[in-house]
Structure 1
Amino acid sequence: MKEVFVADLAKLDENKPFDGVFLVLSKQQRTTRAGKPYLSLTLGDNSGQIEARVWDVTDHRIAPDFEKGDVVKIRGCVSKFDGTLQLKVDMLRGVMEVEYERADLLPATTYDVAELWVKLQQAVASFTEPDLKRLVEAVLADPAVSGAFREAPAAKQLHHAWLGGLLEHVVSLIGLADRVVPHYPILMRDLVLTGVILHDIGKIRELAWATGFEYTLEGQLLGHIQIGASLVEKTMDALPGFPPRLKTLVLHMILSHHGKLEFGSPKLPMIPEALMLNFLDDMDAKMQTLMTEFQKSERMGRAADEMTDRIWALDQRTMLNSRAWLNADESKS
C-alpha cells in the first residue's frame, strides 16, 4: 500500500529522507552551469506531480535503465527552490507490479463514474429530436466505445487529465448547456448536446492510459478531431435514413469545436450550436485548469497571497486564488 503521496510532500520536513513509489512522467538529461550532468524528472501519482532532480547520475544507487512511464521507488527529500517545492532523489530503482496499485499512481476523477454515466444516459434520454437521439445511442451502444469513454482522460496534461476525465468533462458540459441554451431561442438544444457528447469522442483512440497518459500513434498522426469525425460519420452512415443535412451539422460541430484554425480546428464554427459548443468547451477547460493550478500551488506550500506558476492555457499568465486570499484575510481578523 502506497504511504506517501505527492499531496503529502508539502507537509514533510525539508531535507528529511523518505521512501515513496511514483510514476515517472518525464525524464530529461541536463547539465548544470558548471557542465555537470544531472537528471530532471517529473514524478507523479493520483494526487498530483512534482519536479525531481538526480544530481549524481553515476551513483550506483540510481538505476540506469528507467524510462518515462516506469514505476519507481525512490529515497529522497523535499526542499524549496525559488519558492517551489522540489524533490531531491538519492536512490531509485524499478518496482514490480506486485509492489504497487495502479489506482494509486494514475490520477482519477473524484466523482463516481457510474453516477456520471447515468447522468449522460439521462441527457440522451431527454432528446426530442429522434435522429440525433438514435445517433448518440448508437455510438454509446458499442461496448468498446462506452468502456473507453468511462476510463479515458480528457487530455494528456491540460484540463481533466485523469482517468474518467473525458466523461467528467462531458457531463459538466451537459450541465452548462442545459443552463445556457434555454436563454437563446436560436439554439437547437439536442444539436448542442449531441456536439457536447460527441465532440471529444476521438480521444478514446487518440490517448492511451495504461501507465501514464500518452498519445497513440493514431492520435499523433490524425488527432482526436479527425478520429472522432470519422467514427461518428460511420455511425450515421450505418443508420437507415439518417438526414443528410443533420449529418452535415453534426460533423461541422466536431470539426469546428476548437474554435480557431490555429487551435487545430479544420473549420471555424459557422452555426450557432457550434459557436456555443466552442464557448462552453473552452470555459469548462479553462476553469478546470484553474482549479488544478490552485490545488498544485497549495500542494507546493504557497501562501494564499502568492500567484500560480505561468499557465500555458491562459496565455502564460499567473493567477490568484481570490477566494483563498479573501478567506486568509478573514481568518486573521
Structure 2
Amino acid sequence: MKYIEAFKESDRISDIYLIKHKQSAVTKNGKPYENLILQDKTGTIDAKIWDPNSAGIDDFEVLDYVEIFGDVNSFQGALQVSVKRVRKSHEGEYDPADYLPVSSKNIDDMYSELLGYISKLSNVYLKKLLESFFVEDQAFVKSFKMSSAAKAVHHGFVGGLLEHTLSVTKLCDYYTKAYPVLKKDLLIAAAICHDMGKTRELSLFPENDYTDDGQLLGHIVIGSEMISERAKQIEGFPKVLLAEMKHCILAHHGEYEYGSPKKPALIEAVALNFADNTDAKMETMTELFASTTENGWLGYNRLLESNVRKTSEI
C-alpha cells in the first residue's frame, strides 16, 4: 500500500483508502463534481471526482473503504488526487489499522505507567475515585485508550488522549518536586482526570468527531460531571475534596475565552493549567515540524498565535 505521506505530484495511485469526507458540488459552469478527503494512518489528502456519473464510479459513503484509481497533482501549492475510478471495498480486503492515525508510543505501556501513578496515591478517596474509572470500568478503559485528545490541533490520533494525559501527569509530578507547596495527590489525580470528558466529547475513530454532548457541553463540563457522579458512589467522599478536584478540571484551560468556566483559584489548578498548555503547544509544534520539510516560516498557527519556524542548525 502506498501511504498518503509518500504521495508526490504525478504519482498514479490504485490503493484502498478511507473516505473521511464526501460532498457534492458544482463547478462555475454548472457541472457536478464531488469533493473527497481520503485518509490513512499517515494523514489525509483532498480528492476530486470530476465526473461522478461515469461508469467507473461505484456508489459509496463517508467512512467506507474504497479502492481509488487516480492521479496526484498539485493545486495552489497543495497535493490533491484527481479520481478516475472508485470501487467500494469489502471487509477482508483491508486492515483498518492502516487507516487510523495511531500514537507512535505503545498504548499498553503508557497505560501501565499511568496506573503506576494511581497506585501511588495516598489519599484513599482520590485513589478509589480513579480506580473506579481506570481499573474497574472496562468500558471506560477501552474508550480512554482508543480516544484522541482532539479532533485536530494536537494528539489527534488513537492513543492521543492517553499520551497527552501521561505527559501532563509527568509534568505535574515534576512540579510537585520543584514546588513542595503543591498537594501532590490532588494535582496528580486532577492531571489524570483533566481530559477524561473527551471520551464522551469525541466519537472514536474513524469518525473522531464531536458528539451531541461534545457540542452542547464540552469535555470540561462533561469531565466535572463524571467526577461528581462517581464520587457520590464512594461513601464519605469529602465535599471539599470533591469541589477542589472539580475546580482543577473546570479551570484547566486557564481562561474563559479558552473554554474554562472558572479561572484557577487553587495552586494545583494553576499548575495543571501550565502543564496542559505546555504539552498541547509542544506537541502542536512537534507535529507541525514533522509534517513538512520546509525550514522557513510555516505560517500563522491558531493555537500558538504566531508565525512559526524550525530553529536553525547553527
Is this a same-fold pair by TM over 0.5? yes
Say if 2:275 is the partner of 1:275.
no
Over the matched positions of the two proteins, sequence identity in percent amounts to: 36
Among 112, 121, 128, which residue is 1:134 paired with?
Answer: 128
Among 13, 17, 22, which residue is 2:12 paired with?
Answer: 17
Partner of 2:35: 40
Among 6, 9, 32, which residue is 1:8 paired with?
Answer: 6
Write the distance in 2 (CA, Å) between the matches of 1:17 and 1:170: 40
Partner of 2:309: 320
Residue 60 and residue 268 in structure 1: after superposition, are their counterparts in 2 closer, same or farther (change >3 A)?
Answer: farther
Partner of 2:188: 193
- Provide the secondary structure at the position in 1 that maps to 2:131: helix
Say if 2:91 is the partner of 1:106.
no
Partner of 1:301: none
Write the distance in 2 (CA, Å) between the matches of 1:295 and 1:66: 32
Write the distance in 2 (CA, Å) between the matches of 1:195 and 1:49: 34
- Greater shift, 81-90 or 235-244, is seen at 81-90
Structure 1 contact 23–212 (Cα < 8 Å) conserved: no
Write the distance in 1 (CA, Å) between the matches of 2:218 and 2:252: 13
Write the distance in 1 (CA, Å) between the matches of 2:121 and 2:11: 58
Write the mapping of 1:1-333 to structure 2, written as runs, cut at 5 A: 3-10=1-8, 14-32=9-27, 36-63=31-58, 65-140=59-134, 141-298=136-293, 304-308=294-298, 310-315=300-305, 317-322=306-311, 325-326=312-313
User: Which letter does structure 1 place at the counterpart of 2:141?
Assistant: S
Residue 186 and residue 34 in structure 1: after superposition, are their counterparts in 2 closer, same or farther (change >3 A)?
Answer: farther
- Provide the secondary structure at the position in 1 that maps to 2:71: strand
- Greater shift, 138-147 or 192-201, is seen at 138-147
TM-score (norm 1): 0.86
- Greater shift, 95-104 or 23-32, is seen at 23-32
- Deviation for aligned residue 1:210: 4.5
Write the distance in 2 (CA, Å) between the matches of 1:90 and 1:281: 45
User: Which letter does structure 2 place at the counterpart of 1:137?
Assistant: E
- Deviation for aligned residue 1:160: 0.9
Write the distance in 1 (CA, Å) between the matches of 2:103 and 2:222: 24
Deviations along 1:238-287, one digit per CA (max 9) or x if unpaired, are 11111111110001111122222222222222211112211211221122
Residue 262 and residue 124 in structure 1: after superposition, are their counterparts in 2 closer, same or farther (change >3 A)?
Answer: same
Instruction: List structure 1 runs of 4+ shifted beyond 6 angstroms.
Output: none
What are structure 2's unaligned runs of at least 5 residues? none
Q: Say how many residue pairs are matched.
A: 313
- Provide the secondary structure at the position in 1 that maps to 2:104: coil
User: Which letter does structure 2 place at the counterpart of 1:124?
Assistant: I
Point out the structure with the larger helix share. Answer: 1
